[in-house]
Structure 1
Amino acid sequence: MAEPLLEIKGLETHFFTDRGRVPAVDGVDIQIRKGEVLGIVGESGCGKSVMSLSVMGLIPQPPGKIVSGSIEFKNQNLASLSENRMQQIRGNEIAMIFQEPMTSLNPVFTSGNQIVETVRLHRKIGKKEARAHTIEMLRKVGIPRPEAVVDQYPHQLSGGMRQRVMIAMAMSCDPELLIADEPTTALDVTIQAQILDLMKQLNRDSGTAIMMITHDLGVVSEICDRIVVMYAGKVVEEGDKRSILKNPQHPYTKGLIQSVPDMSSKQERLYSIPGTVPSPRALPQGCRFAPRCEYVMEKCHQEMPSLMAIDADHRSRCWLHMPEEEA
């Protein structure tokens, strides 16, 4: 088994507002190994994106702050590094693809210019060499006529092309870890499939570890090796892809899988998990999923369960897995 490339331990990222403290990420432990594709799954508001921004050192301060925990990357705690050191790591050793490329790319610079800037910042090479490298990266991500696209502005490109430019920029310095925050959400299904194939190919050819953040279980089943399910700022289940999708243990994970449309089913109505994700400002006592859970017990409202082992690489945060002697 490959050694951990990134290890998040007890991460707590809170936002301090006029209405009080908001624990967006609340005691998260996540590990990603070298060359692995890890899926982070959950509904909007569960803390996925805040967790990824914490890793990148991009939490706006104020109002946000990492209040405790560590983010270990290659024997250094990213949570305690200076901004200058993080700038050296960002884009070079850890890169990120954001959900909406139009807001991530600068509209007043050409697409190629933005990749050239990234390459020259980290590799200390000349403009001509950086431009040639940029054209080659655009070609690698499947952009036709890269010699022309390199001089085009973001608004002149389609959504799929802009996302490919973002991937080319992220991969331009051969990072060891790529964080992809819902990279296919705004794209049509044909382009989604192309982008996922491209990311699988990059993982295969370069050995780049990928942290794929999504709420789409179809994307997870297509590309990921392991899955972490988050709910209301906490990890509620984790394990290898087959275990999670074929044998989900947490009621929330079961609900997510049940919500996926099944073309072979004759159901007239799609299943949906009752209720909504609780506000981080008003989290319920005990298990945070208890108000929406069909298996809820008295203990669920009183005490938060820990992540309990189902087997060697599968854990679930639910009192249903409590050992018999404790029950």
Structure 2
Amino acid sequence: MKKPVLEINNLQTHFFTDRGEIPAVDDVSFFIREGEVLGIVGESGCGKSVTSLSIMGLVPSPPGKIVGGNILFREQHSTKEETENLVNVSSKRMRQIRGNKIAMIFQEPMTSLDPLFSIGFQITEALNNHQNLSKKEARKKAIEMLNLVGIPRAEQIVDEYPHQLSGGMRQRVMIAIAMSCDPEVLVADEPTTALDVTIQAQILELMKKLNREKGTAILLITHDLGVVSEMCDRVCVMYAGKVVEEGDVRTILKFPKHPYTRGLLRSLPKMHEKQERLYSIPGNVPKPGSITDGCRFAARCSEVFDRCYKEDPELLTLSEGHTCRCFLYEKEGDVQHV
């Protein structure tokens, strides 16, 4: 089994505001192996994007700050393996890693691309920062990357500006920028949210191709379980800043254990069933920091009991590679505390 290239242990990212200290990410742990696609799913406000920004060292400070935990990145050199804790590295070192070893595709390409600079300039900027290429070589590599992500007329597009491209083309450019330095880990924060269904399928197929051909580990953040089933090897389900269930994608989709995971799956439309109204989980995701006692899902849970309002459940191991944060499974004989 391949080693984890990125490992997050007990990550805590808080925001310090006029209302006090807000725990946006609270004790989150997961890992991603070389060449693996890991999905992180959950409703808006559950901490997915803050987790990705924490990994990239892009949490706005102030008001945000990583107050606990480790982000371990294992870089494979030709002769040795080196592990760094990204929480403790200097800003200069983080700039060397960001966009080079760990790259990110942001949610909205129109706001992520600079409207004042050409497509080619924005790709070659990443190459110039991390690779010693001449101006001619960098332009040639930019055109190669545009061809790689399926953009037609790459020789002309390289001199055009973001406003001249469609949403799908802009997202492809974002992927070209992210992949230009051959990163070991690609963080994709809802990369298909703003795109129509046909373009979504093309972008996902492109990411799968890059994962297969280049062996890039992908951390895919989404709220779409259909995308998870199509793309991911394993999946983490997050709720209110915590991981509530984790396992391989088949186990989670076929045999979900946590009531929240079951609710997410139940809310999906069924092709073979005629439904007048889709199911939705009652209530809303609580504001970060608003629940200090008990399980954070208790107020919305259909299987809640008294203990859930008083104690916060620990993450339990149900079977190899399958964990769940719920009191319902403490009585199972093979359960272990994580």
TM range (shorter): over 0.9
2:308 partner SS: helix
2:23 partner SS: strand
1:306 CA drift (Å): 0.9
Contact 1:15 1:64 in 2 (8 A): yes
Partner of 2:11 in structure 1?
11
1:246 aligns with 2:254: yes
Partner of 1:109 in structure 2?
117
The one-letter code of the counterpart of 2:233 is D
1:284 CA drift (Å): 5.0
Partner of 1:95 in structure 2?
103
The one-letter code of the counterpart of 1:266 is K
1:256 aligns with 2:264: yes
Partner of 2:155 in structure 1?
147
1:43 partner SS: coil
1:313 CA drift (Å): 1.0
Partner of 1:174 in structure 2?
182
What does residue range 174-253 of structure 1 map to in structure 2 within 5 Å?
A: 174-253=182-261
Partner of 1:38 in structure 2?
38
Give, in whole Å, the separation in 1 of the partners of 2:261 and 2:292. 19
What does residue range 62-77 of structure 1 map to in structure 2 within 5 Å?
A: 62-74=62-74, 75-77=83-85
Give, in whole Å, the separation in 2 of the partners of 1:246 and 1:271. 18
1:142 partner SS: coil
Give, in whole Å, the separation in 1 of the partners of 2:272 and 2:176. 38
Give, in whole Å, the separation in 2 of the partners of 1:136 and 1:62. 39
1:286 aligned residue (289, 294, 302):
294
1:79 partner SS: coil
TM-score calculated relative to the size of structure 2: 0.95
List per-residue Cα deviations over 1:100-147 (Å, max 9, x = no partner): 001100000001110011111100111100000000000000000000
Give, in whole Å, the separation in 2 of the partners of 1:160 and 1:309. 40
> Structure 1: which 5+ residue stretches go unaligned?
none
CA-atom RMSD, angstroms?
1.0
Partner of 1:22 in structure 2?
22
Give, in whole Å, the separation in 2 of the partners of 1:272 and 1:112. 44
Contact 1:20 1:281 in 2 (8 A): no
Give, in whole Å, the separation in 2 of the partners of 1:238 and 1:5. 18
- The 10-residue stretch of structure 1 (300-309 or 128-137) with the greater mean CA deviation from structure 2: 300-309
Stretches of 4+ aligned residues off by more than 4 angstroms = none
The one-letter code of the counterpart of 1:34 is E
Partner of 1:55 in structure 2?
55
The one-letter code of the counterpart of 1:214 is T
Query: Percent identity over the alignment?
Result: 67
Give, in whole Å, the separation in 2 of the partners of 1:288 and 1:102. 35
Partner of 2:319 in structure 1?
311
The one-letter code of the counterpart of 1:99 is Q
Contact 1:40 1:227 in 2 (8 A): yes
> Structure 2: which 5+ residue stretches go unaligned?
75-82
Give, in whole Å, the separation in 1 of the partners of 2:128 and 2:149. 20
2:43 partner SS: coil
The one-letter code of the counterpart of 2:4 is P
Matched residues, number: 326
List per-residue Cα deviations over 1:55-87 (Å, max 9, x = no partner): 000011110000010000011000011100000
The one-letter code of the counterpart of 1:306 is E
The one-letter code of the counterpart of 2:169 is M
1:9 partner SS: strand
1:301 partner SS: helix
The one-letter code of the counterpart of 2:165 is L
1:188 CA drift (Å): 0.2
